[in-house]
Structure formats: C-alpha cells, structure tokens
Structure 1
Amino acid sequence: MHARAVIPRAALAGASGDVVAWLFALLFAEPLIQAAIDYEAERGEAEAALDAAVGIAPPEEAPEIFSRTVQGVWGIGVGMVLAGVALGLLFAVVYTLLQGKVSLRPRALALLVAGAGFLTLYATPFVKYPANPPAVGHDETIGDRSALFLVMVVGSVVALVVAGLVVRALRERLGTWNAVLVGGLAYVVLVGVLMAVLPSLGELAANVATYGPAVSETPQPLRDPVGRIVFPGFDPDVLYSFRVYALTAQILLWGVLGLVFGALAERTVDPRPSERALESV
C-alpha cells in the first residue's frame, strides 16, 4: 500500500482509537479526576488554616480561564482526538517502513505495530512512572517528571530497535522464535537497567523536602506543628483505580488503532488465493 493511502487511514484509525479511549475515560476516569481535584481544594483549605494560625498570608489564586466542565469533557476530548491523529501519523511512518520487509498480512502487521507502539510509548514508561491524577505531584516537579518520562519513552524505543537488530542478526542461526526470545530478553534487560538508573519521583528534591525520603510523590497526611494529623493523605484506592483506568484507556486506544487500520488496509490488497478460488466458483 502506497504511503499516500496509509496516511489518511492511519489518521482515521488514530482518531477512532482516541474517541473510544476518551469515552472510556469520561465514564470511568473523570470521576476520579474530580475526586482528586476536590481533595486538592480541601487540602488547600486545611493548609491555609494552618498558615493563618502562624500568621502566613495565603497565596493568590489564579483565575479560572475554562470551567471544569469544559476542561473535563470537551477540552480533553478535543485534545485526545488531535493526539490520536498525530499518533496515527506516527503509526503510518512505522507501518510504511516495515511494509514489504516482513511477510505479514496488513491486519497482522497493523496489530504488530500497534502492540509495539503501546509497549514502547506507554506500557514500559508506565511501569517506572505510572500515571497520576491531579493533586498527586508538586508543581515544582512538573518539568522533572516530564523529562524523566520522555527519557523512559526514548530509552524504550531505543531498546526495541536494539532488540529488533538482535532478532535480525540471530534469526538465521537460531531460528525465528528463538531469535525473538533472545531479542525480547535483550529488551527487558535494557529497559531494566534504565529503570534502575533513573530516580523515582519520590527522590526528587521538592518531594524529599516535603515528605522526606519516600517512594512516591503521593501527598502524605497533613500535620499541625505538634504532629497531629489535620487532613488525611491521598486516597490510595483513587490512585490505584485511576492508574488502572489510564492503562485501560491506552489499551483501547492502541487496540482500536491497530484493528481499524488493519481492516482498512486489508481491503486495499488482493484477496488470498483460496478466497479468489471460492469467488470464482
């Protein structure tokens, strides 16, 4: 299939995948996001009360440009669809590069590319730096968190490329499946080393200064000057559920992308010999 035919199909498939993921997130993740925002607001009031008790003036609140409804429904929906189109274009590039170099039907190749994209661009970085809802994470660490996640994404892609080269070099000597196993092991080792080298979010300076040496940046219970808890820490059930739904949304996105594009691409090739024989009967 020519690149000009791949691009619009991949863009449509990417948009379709993100629409499905958005609807899922709207039903399941959005209530958790609202719960996290409510927690942040209530915790802010508790912190302001503690500050007022010692004579510290509260900081000025930034004006709200868009309402919560606009942000949570239409804003994220439009953003996700546009991101899906961009993801589809990236998918088209990889699919075009592999097309003709592997002996797979379009549907199988599409699912392979989608699976590799999910693995490298989301699932592997998610293991080291899982998704967090609002209220989990200091504003001061946004830049560091984004940079670390990007390093994980790039490292995961590089590891997959290396694994592919290993498979290619060993395929004739070991056979396809054994070479794939060795390549998979190489990928796991490389990303494992990268995860061991990179710091956890709890080790970032702003989090250590606030919570001490913790394993995450999840807000801990708020205490008054004498050590009494005046506001609870972030609900771990909300955090867990949000991460499960975030991962599920990505599975839906990449799954729909691969299935829709595969179905569209399959229609552009000639039917298999057995199918042509049946049609001639």
Structure 2
Amino acid sequence: MEFRYIYRGLGVGLLGGLLAFVFARIFAEPFIQDAIDYEAGRDAAQESLNAAASHGGHSHGAEAAEVFSRSVQRNVGIGVGMAIFGLAMGGLFVVAYLIVSRRYPGLRPRVLAALLAAAGFVSLYLIPFAKYPANPPAVGHEETIGERSVLYLAMIAISVISMVLAVLAARWLAGRVGGWNASLLGALVFLVLVGIAMGLLPALGHLGINKAEYGNVATETPQPLRAPDGTIVYPGFPADLLFRFRFYSVISQLVLWATLALGFGALAERLAASPARERPRPAAAEPGTMRSEAATTA
C-alpha cells in the first residue's frame, strides 16, 4: 500500500517541479537575464575605473570559460534542477503524509494533503526566504557563498523544528483550550520561535566582505559605483528588478506546493477509497459441498 502512495507522491512532485519551471521560465527568467546584463555592465565600468587608476593601462582579466551556454542554462539547466527539486519535495511530502495519516486516520486525505503542503511551504521555503531571500546574479559576493549557504540551511532547520514544536504544542493544548484556540496558540509558538531565530541570525549585509565594501549601508545589494571624486559612473542594482525576481520566485514555489496539495490529495483520496471498492466478495460454495457440510453437521 505504501508504495502506491510513494509512486504517486514522486510523480506529483515531478509534475509540480515542471509546472514551477514553466512559470519561472516565463516570468522570472527575463529578470535573471536583466541581472546578468547589469553585472556585465558594472564589471565593464569597474574595469574602466581600474584602467584609469593605473594611468591608462589596460586591464584584461581572464574570464572563466562558459561550460554551458546561456540558452542551455535557462532551459535545460533550470528545468532539470527544478524537476529534481520537485521529486525531492514529493518524496519528503509523501513520507510526512504516511506518518501523519497513521496518527490521525480520521482526517480526509485532501485535507491532510493541504495542511501538510501549507506547512511545508511555510517552514521549508517562506520563512527561510523571509530571512534570506533569493537573489539574482550580481547580488552577493562569491566569497560569501559558503557563509550564505550555512545560514540558509540553519534557517530551514530552525523553521522546520519550530513547526514540529508548534504542532506538538497545539496537540497538547487541544484537550485544554479547544481545537481552534490550540491552533492559534500553536501558530503563535511558531512565530515566536522563528522570530527569535531571525533576530539572532546575522543579515547577509552584515557579513564581513559586504560590510567592508558598503560600509554603514550593510547590504548585499550592489550600491552605485563611484569614481574617486565621488561621481556615480554606474547605478546601483535596480530595486524594482530585485523585487520582481523575488516575487516570482515565491510564486514559483507556491505552484509546486499547490500542485502537491491538490494533485496528491486527489490521488490519496482515491487510494483511500479503493480498498472498499475492490474488496473481494466471499466465493459461493458449490451445492455438493453445502450438502456434504449439512450432512456432516447432522
């Protein structure tokens, strides 16, 4: 029985990843290209400043060879990456569904799938995103990739643990204050825990190299590039571009989790009802056997 759920969970996760890719390819990808264009223009302006500072000398930095073309990256690369991510989330989702469904057999599969998808979206993505949002190219230094990755994974772990503790607290309180009040208190516990974590963990703008480069601004977003006399030679990263990229990133993830909630919920409902429809009827005994049994009883 579990394998029937697992196969469907992986399939729905794959579908969700592909749908999220289609959405991101249409709406988010143009802003990634804009960010790449900004980065190229800023690098050229910086190279001109460096050349002027070296009294007209020419600076020819060695550019890294491009392993995959931009066309491959924006189509095959992102598509495969999001499909694999969808499979992984589908696998985690179905495992959580099987565990919770055994503890709460009275919940309808559609309702349980919707609740788990909402909890997964909030704890695995939305809360970590609120603290450490996704960035397009040109935002963030390469030297801070390791620190940023550790901080983001730490925020995910804290968010998931906080969600589990909140659910346990709500379950413990349900018999004392009622189900609705217990749910509200559980949500409050979750918000307090993640709020404390967000306050304690450093902002990306406060990482060493960002603070050293941008000073009191303490940001990871590139500020205007200035000449030695203070003249702006290249603008800072456009705020509108950053907002749109992050907005569509959230919607892309929402597409994935909504697909898990709706698709897997519908399939799980059918699976839960199938044993009742497919239960074999008892075979009718042959007339000779019935007479033999009656004679033996007599």
TM-score by length of 1: 0.94
1:88 deviates by: 0.5
**Are 1:203 and 1:213, in contact at CA under 8 Å, matched by a contact in 2?**
no
Q: 2:162 is matched with which residue? A: 159
**Are 2:23 and 2:252, in contact at CA under 8 Å, matched by a contact in 1?**
yes
Matches of 1:13 and 1:269 in 2, distance apart?
A: 17
Q: After alignment, is 208-217 or 144-153 more displaced?
A: 208-217
Q: Does 1:42 align with 2:28?
A: no
Q: 2:205 is matched with which residue? A: 202
1:111 deviates by: 1.0
**Are 1:52 and 1:58, in contact at CA under 8 Å, matched by a contact in 2?**
no
Matches of 1:201 and 1:109 in 2, distance apart?
A: 36
Question: Match of 1:234, SS?
Answer: coil
Q: Does 1:218 align with 2:217?
A: no
1:92 deviates by: 1.2
Show CA shifts across 1:212-258 (max 9, x none): 13243110000011111000000111001011100111111100111
TM-score by length of 2: 0.88
Matches of 2:12 and 2:162 in 1, distance apart?
A: 26
Supply the AA of the counterpart residue of 1:13.
Answer: V
Matches of 2:133 and 2:23 in 1, distance apart?
A: 18
1:107 deviates by: 1.1
Q: Which runs of 5+ in 1 are unaligned?
A: 274-281
Q: 2:116 is matched with which residue? A: 113
Structure with bigger gyration radius: 2
**Are 2:19 and 2:255, in contact at CA under 8 Å, matched by a contact in 1?**
yes
Matches of 1:72 and 1:230 in 2, distance apart?
A: 30
Question: Match of 1:99, SS?
Answer: helix
Matches of 1:58 and 1:49 in 2, distance apart?
A: 11
Question: Match of 2:233, SS?
Answer: strand
Question: Match of 1:230, SS?
Answer: strand
Structure 1 stretches of at least 4 aligned residues deviating more than 4 Å after TM superposition: none
**Are 1:22 and 1:77, in contact at CA under 8 Å, matched by a contact in 2?**
yes
Q: 2:75 is matched with which residue? A: 73
Q: 1:30 is matched with which residue? A: 29
Matches of 1:215 and 1:257 in 2, distance apart?
A: 38
**Are 2:211 and 2:218, in contact at CA under 8 Å, matched by a contact in 1?**
no
Q: Does 1:8 align with 2:7?
A: yes
After superposition, residues 132-143 of structure 1 pair within 5 angstroms as 132-143=135-146
Q: 2:283 is matched with which residue? A: none
Q: Once superposed, what is the RMSD of the aligned Cα atoms?
A: 1.3
Matches of 1:211 and 1:239 in 2, distance apart?
A: 18
**Are 1:202 and 1:213, in contact at CA under 8 Å, matched by a contact in 2?**
no
Matches of 2:91 and 2:227 in 1, distance apart?
A: 52
Residue-pair matches, total: 271
Q: 1:17 is matched with which residue? A: 16
**Are 1:26 and 1:73, in contact at CA under 8 Å, matched by a contact in 2?**
yes
**Are 1:120 and 1:156, in contact at CA under 8 Å, matched by a contact in 2?**
yes
Q: 1:259 is matched with which residue? A: 262
